[in-house]
Copies of this chain bind each other. A is one copy, B any other.
């Protein structure tokens, strides 16, 4: 960051931004990518790129963060919420075909806790119905999907577009921050324009035009060089960070193995990027009891998403379908502490504290 300041240019799109892009493209095989101010911003860019217009429908899980939906609602989309997989909060791909209409434009695959959605089924659906697949990879940095033929691809490199988050709560952070990945070639030029406030400034900077002007809608999606410099330092440590997080995750999982708690069920096609360790409880009341008990013992645990189809904002627009599985996760899922500096003895203390209550 000191170097960014010494460069005399801390606005966006400088050398640290380029270094982050290069690192991510090289490590994960992204066709192209652009740092953004947030994962929310990357999703908004995706909604603009696939040209969402009022009335277009977008299918996504109800068990996700508000930004997954908001980004498309801002462009006028109708959100069609799908239920979760019985064994995992990710979208239940078996339920999707009946939700597709002639107005459906995209399916958003949210890789919950960094675990891959069933991408082959999603790609087949997209192919059959001419839809876009947008990966909401907010939690999925360094996650992988293994195809049935054995091919292994990084999450975010599979859909037409993908969005990552570098928010504080993620594996790799820059406070606030995100990334748009552009895998479909046809979006690359326009993405650069939308990123630069709807102007062809990127071309101007490369000397391809004498001045730059307003050519499209867009926003100021690019983060500062200060943010990019912080992010680059994190990316350079990614293996160390991931190894440490995995050791914490595995310790939790081993310690819970002999308990009766429902622990994360990672699909066979998905890697584990150790984004989150959670248990799923039988009821809201059981969860409240555990949260209270943990709090007394100085442990911060947290539930996660409320279902979006029942939200104050969208419940009257939802078509009334019950989505019982995502409701189960909304009521029962409890996230346990998982951060780089967490010691393995602390993990033991946390598990002991929870198990002793039952």
Contact = CB atoms under 8 A, between A and B. Distances in A.
A192 to B, nearest CB: 15
Given A70-B214, A214-B66, A224-B174, A219 B168 contact: no
Nearest to A167: B11
Interface string A70-108: 110110000000000000000000000000000000000
A28 to B, nearest CB: 23
A58 to B, nearest CB: 15
B11 A220 contact: no
A215 interface: yes
Interface residues of A, number: 55
Nearest to A165: B220
Interface string A161-190: 000000111000111110000000000000
A10 interface: yes
Interface in A198-216: 198-199, 211, 213-216
The majority secondary structure among interface residues of chain A is: loop
- For this chain, the copies found in one complex come to 2
Contact of A177 (B40, B168, B224, B314): B224
Contacts of A40: 197, 219-220
A205 B219 CA distance: 29
Contacts of A217: 70, 73-74, 313
Interface centre among A44, A66, A169, A225 (most CB of B within 10 A): A66
Nearest to A341: B8
Contacts of A225: 175
Contacts of A274: none
A169 B306 contact: no
A91 B74 CA distance: 30
A167 B196 CA distance: 14
A69 B214 contact: yes
B168 A10 contact: yes
Contact of A227 (B222, B224, B312, B313): B224
Contact of A313 (B74, B211, B215, B306): B215
Interface of A: 1, 4, 9-12, 37-41, 44, 54, 65-67, 69-71, 73-74, 167-169, 173-177, 197-199, 211, 213-220, 222-227, 230, 303, 306, 308, 311-314
23 contacts: A10-B175, A11-B167, A11-B175, A37-B220, A38-B219, A38-B220, A40-B219, A40-B220, A41-B219, A41-B220, A44-B219, A54-B54, A66-B198, A67-B197, A69-B214, A70-B197, A70-B217, A175-B224, A175-B225, A176-B223, A211-B306, A214-B314, A226-B230
